[in-house]
Amino acid sequence: MTFQKTREHLRRFLAQHGDPTAGRVELLVSVMEAAAAECERLRHCIGNDRSKPTQPQADYADTHPVDHAITKLLVDLIRRQELTAKDEIIFEEFKSGPVASVTGYWIGDALDNTLSFRTGRPDYGVSLLFTVGERVVALFVLPAMRTVYFSISKGGSWREVE
């Protein structure tokens, strides 16, 4: 799955508005491409897992291993960039430690609708957004359905289907 139309649309919007968050937008799209590909790879490797559905736990010890794997992938890819060194990262299963002089926030859910993923249904997703100042950019990807929803504050929302 490629995010070519999403990437082009966001680039055009940011160029028209002289937005300083372009580097983070590129990163957002790239990490979501990687997460979607990994979800699909793992879904095909694992197949249907009809074991007992996970229940929310305060310590998240009972979440699905794919949730942890995708969270780790996303966090690692975001953290590799100097651009995000002072950004705080928050996922359902992860929260970065305190960051001095926070410049931005990344908030996401690495495996939204885990039960669907576990039972082989295609309606699971990966969501991630970043916010810097007034700007918020969000992507929600349904990898098995080859669909991307994206939104940018004061810029609208769109859907890309492959």
pTM greater than 0.85 (yes/no): no
**H or E element at residue 151:** strand 147-152
Q: Both tokens of residue 71?
A: 């969270």
By the 8 A CB rule, do 137 and 130 touch?
yes
Instruction: Give 54-81 as a DSSP string.
Output: P---TT-TTS-HHHHHHHHHHHHHHHT-
Q: Where are the domains of the chain?
A: 4-161
**Which pLDDT tens digit goes with each residue over 70-128?**
899 999 999 998 888 889 999 887 777 777 778 889 999 988 888 888 888 899 999 99
Cα 61 from Cα 38, distance rounded (Å)? 22
Residue with tokens 């992507």: 139
Q: The CATH number of 4-161 is which of 1.10.1750.10, 3.40.50.300, 3.40.50.1100, 3.30.540.10? A: 3.30.540.10
